[in-house]
Chain A
Amino acid sequence: MKLLNKLTTGFGALAVTALIAAPAWAQTLIENPTVEQQATMVNKGDTTWMLVSSALVLMMSVPALALFYGGLVRTKNMLSVLMQVLMIVSIAALVWVGWGYSMAFTSGGDNHFFGGFSKAFLSGVSASTYAATFSNNVYIPEYTFVVFQMTFACITPALIVGAFAERVKFWPLMLFMVLWMTIVYFPMAHMVWYWAGPDFLKGAPTDSGLIWGWGGLDFAGGTVVHINAGIAGLAGCLVLGKRTGFKKEPMPPHSLTMTMIGASLLWVGWFGFNAGSNLESNGVTAVAFINTFVATAAAAVAWAVIEQIVHGKPSLLGAASGAVAGLVAITPAAGFAAPVTSILLGFAVSIICFFFVTTVKNKLGYDDSLDVFGVHCIGGIVGAIGTGIVADPALGGQGWFDYTVFPAVAGEYDMAGQVITQLKAVALTLVLSGGVSAILFFLIDKTIGLRPSVEVELEGLDIAEHGERAYNY
């Protein structure tokens, strides 16, 4: 079997319901289909949806994340944030084509931590190679899968910059991002999402990433994207230290209007992120879509209500932060939860994230400028653990499917066991990303330097690092 035939994907999501419900089809299913046979298993609807989803996820990074973050910094640093996000997205796309896709989504053989380099520079990928989905005998063009996953590789490193916004040098940061993607992101994506695919797993039951093999459920990237980026951000903000004047001078957001535009575009784009993660356009896609909608709504309402109770006024920044926290929490659970349990997850994540970005951050005194840790890491952990609960079919969840038999069948759900697996996945992500990020930040800071001088910081990164200013009145 050629390697590309075994090309796979996997969020552990379960879209084979239609096939199970129609056993007559089962006789016609082909195990280990050849590329020629896969070519007949491609659906134009799926392909269209996945390409649209890819564009939606790109919109989440530029402009949505850039504006969301940019509005939160002071005027003098606006362009530095926009530039960091734009360049990270661009560099990540190049790295993804270069070696990222291959490291993440080819088999590592007995190594379950990262894949090989056989598809470096997309070697062997063409318009007539295909990627597996979560249904037996359903494929999408491999380029579609490459580009969809590329958008995830683009936004994840960009999330990190919020933690140390307003105090980092541009090029050393770009170097960090290339190293971080290579050592942390691609292996994480491999461990969580790589598997041999529904038509091939029976013949190669150990051909999967480490966490996928444990049975960890992560629909759209709670561990790979949010916990991963969130803990890396915390490591960065600790190594870089606080902003000059932190807690001594006011550092209010310069434009919450921009932040609102960014948060709203994030919400829209997130439908591509979550519902697109089903890799097909079917019932489970709709499940992920509605869950993404209502969990976010619940979290936005919850944050506003908490602020009304605690501060006496509901703020826009609070509601927008709640919406993002809700999006983060529903990410791993999107295709597993039911709408009602998604709403509960949304309420829960706002309460917990509010506590972290107000009380815990102030108590511990670290300067996570834009709350990357408090919202993405903590929200991601709530979502990852919550996924183990809400995926239970007893609560209306989608459960999990056993792909080691052909065709796949529904697996027996053990909520306690699943939550423990989720905790293991969270712990591994925190240790790997937190540890490696701290070392990388430290080494770059001690060699080429990561933090600009105090004068540069006071003048603002826009003029000092980029030679321009955001607003010329």
Chain B
Amino acid sequence: MKLVIAIIKPFKLDEVREALSGLGVQGMTVTEVKGFGRQKGQTEIYRGAEYSTNMVPKIKVEVATTDDLAGRVVEVIQQSANTGAIGDGKIFVLDVAQAVRIRTGETDDVAL
């Protein structure tokens, strides 16, 4: 099993979700996050007080998948979250040791 973590632009969330549903992905976890990479933050000006915010708001999507599907999940996220501009985000893939569905106690691939 793999855990795919994608940091994407907030307005791309719906497209990513739809694309993943199309693949048959059953669930995901979404968090509002802030961070920085190569994308420059904006400058905010409040009555002459200038603040440059270097933390840019992003969405973190986490999807646990079977090993077979992981490659397609990464591919679909990469395509659907892409705008071609700096700041589109990153995708990380991690190995998952165990998964449990709390309601039934099922484990691993069946639990995803």
Residues of A within 8 A of B (CB): 250-253, 311, 313, 315, 317-318, 321, 357-359, 361-362, 371
User: By the criterion CB–CB under 8 Å, are B46 and A253 in contact?
Assistant: yes
**Contact indicator A359/B48 (Cβ below 8 Å):** yes
A250 close to B47 (CB less than 8 A): no
For the complex, give the distance between the alpha carbons of A5 and B49 in Å.
53
Q: How many A-B residue pairs have CB under 8 A?
A: 24
Q: Across the interface, which residues of A come within 8 angstroms of B53, CB to CB?
A: 250
Chain A residues contacting B49 (CB-CB under 8 Å) are 251-252
**Chain B contact residues, majority secondary structure:** strand
Bound Cα distance from A267 to B62, whole angstroms = 48
Q: Taking each of B44, B46, B48, B53, which has the highest tally of chain A beta carbons within 10 Å of its own beta carbon?
A: B48
Chain A to chain B contacts (Cβ below 8 Å), 5 pairs:
A252-B49, A315-B46, A318-B47, A357-B48, A359-B48
Closest CB-CB distance, B46 to chain A, in whole Å?
A: 6
In the docked arrangement, what's the CA distance between A252 and B48, Å?
11
- Tell yes or no: B102 within 8 A of A by CB: no
Interface residues of B in 6-62 (CB under 8 A from A): 44-49, 51, 53
The 3 closest A-B pairs by CB, nearest first: A358-B48, A250-B51, A357-B47
CB distance from B53 to the nearest CB of A (A): 7
Among A250, A359, A362, chain B packs the most CB atoms within 10 A around the CB of A250
A315 touches B48 (CB 8 A): no
- The dominant DSSP class at the A interface is helix
> A97 to chain B: closest CB distance in Å?
37
A315-B45, A358-B47 are known contacts; what are 10 more A-B pairs with Cβ within 8 Å?
A250-B51, A252-B44, A253-B46, A315-B46, A317-B46, A317-B47, A318-B47, A321-B47, A358-B48, A361-B48
Inter-chain CA distance A359–B49, complex, in Å, is 10
Contact of B45 among A311, A321, A371 (CB under 8 A): A311
Nearest A residue to B51, CB-CB: A250
Cα A210 to Cα B96 in complex, Å, equals: 83
Q: Which residues of B contact A250 (CB under 8 A)?
A: 51, 53
How far apart sit A361 and B47, CA to CA, in the bound complex (Å)?
10
**Interchain nearest-CB distance for A122 vs B (Å):** 42
Q: Tell me the bound Cα distance from A313 to B46 in angstroms.
A: 11
A318 surroundings in chain B (CB, below 8 A): 47
How near does chain A come to B34, taking the closest CB pair, in angstroms?
A: 13
Contacts of A321 in B (CB 8 A): 47
B51 touches which one: A252, A317, A358, A362 (CB < 8 A)? Answer: A252
Q: How far is B46's CA from A371's CA once the two chains are assembled, in angstroms? A: 11
Contacts of A371 in B (CB 8 A): 47
- Bound: A252/B47 CA distance, A: 10
- CB contacts (< 8 Å) of B47 on chain A: these are 317-318, 321, 357-358, 371
**Distance (whole angstroms) from the CB of A366 to the closest CB of chain B:** 13
Please give the distance in Å from B36's CB to the nearest CB on chain A: 14
Task: Across the interface, name the chain A residue whose C-beta is closest to B48.
Answer: A358
- Nearest to B53 among chain A residues (CB) is A250
Least CB separation from B49: chain A residue: A251
Complex Cα distance, B47 from A321, in Å, reads 8
Cα distance A397–B108 when bound, in Å? Answer: 84
**Chain B residue with the shortest CB-CB distance to A359:** B48
B45's closest neighbor in chain A, by CB?
A311
Which residues of chain A are near B44, meaning CB under 8 Å? Answer: 252
In the complex, what's the smallest C-beta–C-beta distance from A26 to chain B, in angstroms? 53
**B45 to A362, Cβ gap below 8 A?**
no
In Å, the complex CA distance between A313 and B48 comes to 12
Docked Cα-Cα span, A317 to B50, in Å, equals 13
The distance from the CB of A314 to the nearest CB of chain B, in whole angstroms, is 11
Chain A residues with CB under 8 Å of B51's CB are: 250, 252
Whole-angstrom CA separation of A177 from B19 in the bound complex: 62
Complex: how many Å from CA A253 to CA B46? 8
Taken together as a complex, chains A and B put the C-alpha atoms of A358 and B47 apart, in Å, by: 6
- In the docked arrangement, what's the CA distance between A371 and B49, Å? 11
Q: How far is the CA of A315 from the CA of B49 in the complex (A)?
A: 13
Task: Tell me the complex Cα distance, A252–B44, Å.
Answer: 9
| A252 contacts across to B, CB distance below 8 A | 44, 46, 49, 51
Q: For residue A375, which residue of chain B has the nearest CB?
A: B47
Task: Specify which chain B residues have a CB less than 8 angstroms from the CB of A357 in the assembled complex.
Answer: 47-48
Chain A contacts for B48, CB-based, 8 A: 357-359, 361-362
